[in-house]
Amino acid sequence: MDLEVKGVAASPRCQTQSFSGRKKPLQQGWTSKSWAIQNSCLPVVPRLDLGSLVDSDEEEQDIIPEDLPAPTGKYKLKYQQYKTEMKEAYKQYSQRNAEKKKSNTTHQTSPRDNIEDKCVPGEAAVTGDLTTLDRKALLQRCFADNPDHVLQSTRKSNAEIVAAEKKKQIVAEQVMVDHLSRAVISDPEQNLTTEKQEDACILPDSYITPLRFRKRTLHETKIRTHSTLTENILSHKVQFEGRIISRNGRDACRELVGFFFIHDHSLTIYEYRQFGKNRTNVLPFIQKNIYSHQRGRRKGKQYQLGDFYIGANLTFLSSDHPRLPESIKENTLLILRITNIDQKALETLRINSVGHESDIISQEANDRLVFQAIQDKLKEQLHKKGVRILTGLEKYFQQLDKEGNGLLDKADFKQALKVFHLEVSEEDFESSWLILNDSGDGRVDYGEFRRAVIGEMNEYRKSFVRKAFMKLDFNKTGSVSITDIRKCYCAKKHPQVISGHSTEEEIKLSFLETLTNACSKPDEVSYGEFEDYYEGLSIGVVDDEDYVTILRTPWGI
């Protein structure tokens, strides 16, 4: 019997041996390998005929038909739109690049020299008034020099806008449901009306009736009363987003959405929580009530519509809100910063609103001018040294703060400015001190002093700093280990890596070295330290989208 498998002919001798070998069980101690050695007659594989193979290009040419139809107008239009977008993106990139070259008149060394230079901690290894750590930190700005980032950032921004609108809608619906329900349930006139109706329908023996047969209703929603809130009244509101000014990562990254109601000048704030991709929760953070300013020139005055704008601070007494987290109740004041607001609703309602006193407005305007003059002078000194000075200044303030309450006196602030060679005239310092020390106790929070004198990046930039940190801090602990940062940081799209001047590992090591230098602990980074690092990096970046790209590219947000 001849056996042929897939064109391979087996001889009768080989066939007999192979089948007889299969019938007999393997002897004890024998393996399949040793059996294969004894039965050395294996099937013969035929030689491959390379001449019968057809080249892939020739094969494709035969498959593609010659009478293809011409492209339709729809596809021509799409191609033209794509071509226009790419030209516009490259044109914007070229313009920004030309502006950067004009502004940067100082000589820049090669990227490899920037990375390979070593700096001994504590010594002034200075080249052109810049230490090696300064030059390594400046490498992070190169992420903005990628010409493809304009189109990518536009697509990501569109997705973020859709997600933000969905979040606003979820919170607004929850607020309306909560307050409409509470207004009906807690209305005393509602109870009187229902009691009269029940008394009119009571039968003589109704009190003897078993409980399960009695009509038990909590309230009658069809009855209208004078004090009951309606959806029309609650619709006259301004919706805004806010954040807590804190160095605690868990508190600073809370997503807060607030509402200011025009009919009674009350406000409420809700916290938006997201668990995974699809599960969300909306809970009250500040109960609906009428509140007043707790500090500043408007201390004691009720909140008005003019108090709500991007960058405004809302202050609350922590003792008035017992349900706040313990980390927030440690401080006397809870300070919320408005990060975004419904401008359309604000402009509509502002027409009929009552403004503040003109003297308070003029005084606040003068205060801002004093701080702005100091900030403009210091920005020139911090243009390329912002990361090292801001992170070092925060660590120095913490060393001076022996009590741990965040308050320092005038002598401490003067000493800190002198140590870090930040030149502020005596007149400017005294003017700023009179504004900040509104309580008159001679002590000021050093975080507030730094924000007022040195300045801070806008809320649009800070929102991306929080996004990057929230991606790293997936356990919501407020701090991230250096190991996790090393894993998440990606330098593949850094221009120096793409051009071959530096490796990905070199860029990553330069970033980790500058970041760990800003940390009080060698193995972890807190939210405050992470924010200080990117706060210093923000000083020399003019365009907001360039700064967002510096955060988007390595962290993938």
Residue ranges in 27-72 assigned as alpha helix (H): 32-38, 56-63
In the prediction, which pLDDT does 258 show?
93
Confidence (pTM): 0.67
The 10 Å CB-count burial string (b at 16+, else e) for 360-388 is eeeeeeebeebbeebbeebeebbebbbbb
Please give the mean pLDDT across all residues of the chain: 76
List residues bridging with 127 in a β-sheet: 130
- Rounded to whole angstroms, how far apart are CA atoms 445 and 400? 12
The helix or strand, by DSSP H or E, that contains position 481, with its residue range, turns out to be strand 479-481
The share of the chain scoring above pLDDT 90, in percent, equals: 22
The whole-angstrom distance between residue 2's C-alpha and the CA centroid of its chain comes to 74
- Rounded to whole angstroms, how far apart are CA atoms 369 and 357? 19
* Phi, psi angles (nearest 5°) of residue 107: -75, 135
The most confident of 76-85, 91-100, 383-392, by mean pLDDT: 383-392
298: how many CB neighbours lie within 10 A of its CB? 20
Name residue, tokens 């940067």: 104
In the prediction, which pLDDT does 489 show?
92
Would you say 550 and 494 are in contact if contact means Cβ atoms under 8 Å apart? no
- Rounded to whole angstroms, how far apart are CA atoms 175 and 311? 24
More confident residue, 12 or 150: 150
Q: Is the pLDDT of residue 293 over 90?
A: yes
More confident residue, 361 or 63: 361
Of the candidates 535, 539, 538, 131, the one whose C-alpha atom is nearest the C-alpha of residue 375 is 539
149: how many CB neighbours lie within 10 A of its CB? 22
In the prediction, which pLDDT does 189 show?
55
Identify residue 177 by its one-letter amino acid code.
Answer: V
More confident residue, 464 or 124: 464
Would you say 488 and 468 are in contact if contact means Cβ atoms under 8 Å apart? no
How large is the angle between the packed helices 527-538 and 544-555, nearest 10 degrees?
A: 140
The share of the chain scoring above pLDDT 70, in percent, equals: 69
In the prediction, which pLDDT does 112 show?
36
In the prediction, which pLDDT does 114 show?
41
The helix or strand, by DSSP H or E, that contains position 259, with its residue range, turns out to be strand 255-261
∠ CA(300), CA(305), CA(309), 5° rounding?
A: 100
The three state secondary structure string of 142-209 is HHHHCCCHHHHHHHHHHHHHHHHHHHHHHHHHHHHHHHHHHHHHCCHHHHHHHHHHHHHCCCCCCCCC
More confident residue, 353 or 93: 93
Handedness of CA 130, 136, 142, 144 (dihedral sign): negative
Tokens of 169: 């809608």
Q: At 512, is the secondary structure helix, strand, or coil? A: helix
Average pLDDT over residues 15-32: 45
Residue ranges in 386-472 assigned as alpha helix (H): 386-400, 410-419, 426-436, 446-453, 459-472
Would you say 241 and 337 are in contact if contact means Cβ atoms under 8 Å apart? no
The most confident of 122-126, 201-205, 354-358, by mean pLDDT: 354-358
Average pLDDT over residues 340-347: 89
More confident residue, 68 or 117: 68
Which of 65-74, 320-329, 332-341, 384-393 is predicted with the least confidence, judged by mean pLDDT?
A: 65-74
The most confident of 7-16, 48-57, 434-443, by mean pLDDT: 434-443
Average pLDDT over residues 324-329: 90
Average pLDDT over residues 178-189: 62
Q: Is the pLDDT of residue 15 over 50?
A: no
More confident residue, 290 or 49: 290
Q: Give Cα separations from 239 to 231, 294, 327, 355, 437 (angstroms).
A: 15, 22, 26, 19, 32
Which of 147-156, 333-342, 439-448 is predicted with the least confidence, judged by mean pLDDT?
A: 147-156
534: how many CB neighbours lie within 10 A of its CB? 24
- Rounded to whole angstroms, how far apart are CA atoms 236 and 306? 15
Of the candidates 230, 259, 236, 266, the one whose C-alpha atom is nearest the C-alpha of residue 348 is 236
For 92-134, what is each residue's pLDDT tens digit?
777 776 766 655 544 344 333 443 343 333 333 333 467 888 8
Average pLDDT over residues 265-290: 86
In the prediction, which pLDDT does 177 show?
82
